[in-house]
Amino acid sequence: TQLLEQSPQFLSIQEGENLTVYCNSSSVFSSLQWYRQEPGEGPVLLVTVVTGGEVKKLKRLTFQFGDARKDSSLHITAAQPGDTGLYLCAGAATGGSEKLVFGKGMKLTVNP
């Protein structure tokens, strides 16, 4: 059974602070996807990383895929209240399967 562990699970910070969310597994994934979910809505895809060691930047968000494709991180620079939400990482299993295994998520609150 493939599992993804996210840490921290909860984070409350002030506007302007930086933060990093970690997503770890003992399993190898063909790709790692990060989603953001707001209350009452479905997850919205932020980024997909597919190559070990890959780094992708999306404005103030930096995503990294571990060399062994077992872990990933999301770094947010100068957080803003609009970044508040549930951040989920999801792995697609090796072998071409498109089933996603989700972590429990990190609930981020950015206070003005």
Partner 1 sequence: DAGVTQSPTHLIKTRGQQVTLRCSPKSGHDTVSWYQQALGQGPQFIFQYYEEEERQRGNFPDRFSGHQFPNYSSELNVNALLLGDSALYLCASTRRGGSYGYTFGSGTRLTVV
88 near partner 1, rule: CB under 8 A: yes
CB of 112 to partner 1, least distance (A): 25
42 near partner 1, rule: CB under 8 A: yes
CB of 15 to partner 1, least distance (A): 25
99 near partner 1, rule: CB under 8 A: yes
- Which 3-state string (H, E, C) describes the chain? CCCCEEECCEEEEECCCCEEEEEECCCCEEEEEEEEECCCCCCEEEEEECCCCCEEEECCEEEEECCCCCEEEEEECCCCHHHCEEEEEEEEECCCCCCEEECCCEEEEEEC
Binding site for partner 1 (CB under 8 A): 4, 6, 31, 33, 35, 40-45, 48, 50, 88, 90, 92, 97-105
